[in-house]
């Protein structure tokens, strides 16, 4: 099932995407509420989807599926080609940073380039959305902890990222975590470790890889994070980006106002944004 957060006629709701239409779930609450109560709701939502109706997707505005995740974590250096282009060694342990809630952005909304001399870059990533979650989740049990998947762009301000050993500030500028266009539930995705992912800038393919190349797979990621914290419904995990980022090109190619960035992942669709100057 494809589940989205959308705005129509001034109201923001959750909906089921079927083809080119969206059907209101009829549930009062956010996507986090829906995920938390999924076991009780899923049969009724499946019946709504089968019944059809709804409104055209073209008539609504899609928002980030989870607008205010409790936690947003992202793993760095998790594809061999990206590690090589970054002139880094393959990490022995997983390297994690956070992205602020305020960086969340809608899947087709403009992405801001902050004022000043900025070096803004793109990073297409598969995002795992936590469902049951938990603490001390083993890799063997991790699949059951995940609700579904969406596309993310881990937009990065490179100068700010590398000005400190901690990357979170350079990863957390406003609008720098677009996600969407919807969540595809885990049962519909199947194995998340065999999905092609691509990023285009102004129609030029910059990144093209497959999640089969993850250094630390998603189950290992869930196991690692849940050692120290309880993963909760709606938490979002950016699972890594492959090679091809602008900072590694020769000469380096950073984003500028007017550039169009499109991120695609098999089975999930695409997100796309025009870069805009802040203010």
Do 161 and 206 belong to one domain?
yes
Q: What is the pLDDT of residue 123?
A: 98
Do 77 and 48 belong to one domain?
no
Do 140 and 183 belong to one domain?
yes
Question: pLDDT for 190-242, tens place per residue?
Answer: 999 999 999 999 999 999 999 999 999 999 999 999 999 999 999 999 999 99
Do 218 and 149 belong to one domain?
yes
Q: Which of 185, 190, 193 is nearest to 216 (CA)?
A: 193
Do 243 and 139 belong to one domain?
yes
Residue 181 has pLDDT above 90, yes or no: yes
Quick one: average pLDDT of 70-82? 95
Instruction: Specify whether the CB–CB gap between 33 and 7 falls below 8 A.
Output: no
Quick one: average pLDDT of 151-178? 96
**How sure is the predictor about 117, in pLDDT bands with cuts at 50, 70 and 90?**
confident
Mean residue pLDDT across the chain = 97
Question: Whole-angstrom Cα distance, residue 128 to residue 138?
Answer: 16
What percent of the chain clears pLDDT 70, i.e. is strictly above it? 100
Question: pLDDT for 12-51, tens place per residue?
Answer: 999 999 999 999 999 999 999 999 999 999 999 999 999 9
Do 53 and 77 belong to one domain?
no
Do 11 and 38 belong to one domain?
yes
Q: What is the pLDDT of residue 58?
A: 97
Helix (H), strand (E) at residue 223:
helix 218-225
Q: Is the peptide bond before 181 cis (omega within 30 degrees of 0)?
A: yes
Do 141 and 16 belong to one domain?
no
Quick one: average pLDDT of 108-128? 96
Q: What is the pLDDT of residue 87?
A: 86
Residue 137 has pLDDT above 90, yes or no: yes
Do 185 and 215 belong to one domain?
yes
**How sure is the predictor about 106, in pLDDT bands with cuts at 50, 70 and 90?**
very high
Do 56 and 103 belong to one domain?
no
Do 88 and 190 belong to one domain?
yes
| Other beta carbons within 10 Å of 277 | 13
Backbone angles phi, psi at 240, to 5 degrees: 120, 155
Counting DSSP H helices and E strands in the chain, the numbers are 6, 19
Q: What is the pLDDT of residue 96?
A: 97
DSSP structural state of residue 114? P
Q: How many structural domains is the chain composed of? A: 2
Q: 58 lies in which domain range? A: 2-63
Backbone angles phi, psi at 247, to 5 degrees: -65, -20
């Amino acid at each position: 099932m494809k589940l989205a957060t959308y705005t129509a006629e001034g109201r923001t709701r959750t909906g089921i995407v079927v083809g080119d239409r969206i059907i209101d779930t009829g549930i009062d609450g956010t996507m986090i509420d829906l995920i938390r109560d999924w076991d009780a709701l899923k049969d009724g939502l499946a019946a709504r989807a089968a019944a059809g109706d709804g409104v055209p997707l073209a008539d609504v505005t899609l928002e980030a599926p989870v607008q205010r995740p409790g936690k947003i974590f992202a793993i760095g250096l998790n594809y061999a080609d990206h590690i090589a282009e970054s002139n880094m060694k393959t990490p022995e342990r997983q390297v994690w940073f956070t992205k602020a809630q305020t960086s969340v952005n809608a899947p087709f909304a403009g992405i801001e380039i902050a004022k000043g001399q900025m070096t803004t870059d793109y990073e297409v990533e598969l995002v795992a959305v936590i469902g049951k979650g938990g603490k001390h989740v083993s890799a063997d049990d991790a699949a059951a902890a995940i609700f579904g998947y969406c596309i993310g762009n881990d937009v990065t301000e490179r100068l700010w990222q590398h000005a400190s050993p901690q990357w979170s500030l350079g990863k957390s500028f406003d609008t720098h975590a677009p996600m969407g266009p919807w969540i595809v539930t885990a049962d519909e995705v199947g194995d998340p470790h065999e999905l092609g992912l691509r990023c285009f800038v102004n129609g030029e393919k910059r990144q093209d890889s497959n999640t089969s190349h993850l250094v630390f797979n998603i189950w290992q990621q869930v196991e690692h994070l849940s050692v120290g914290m309880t993963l909760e419904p709606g938490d979002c995990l950016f699972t890594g980006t492959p090679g091809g980022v602008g900072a590694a090109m020769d000469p380096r190619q950073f984003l500028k106002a007017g550039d169009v960035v499109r991120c695609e992942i098999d089975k999930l669709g695409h997100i796309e944004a025009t870069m805009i100057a802040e203010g």
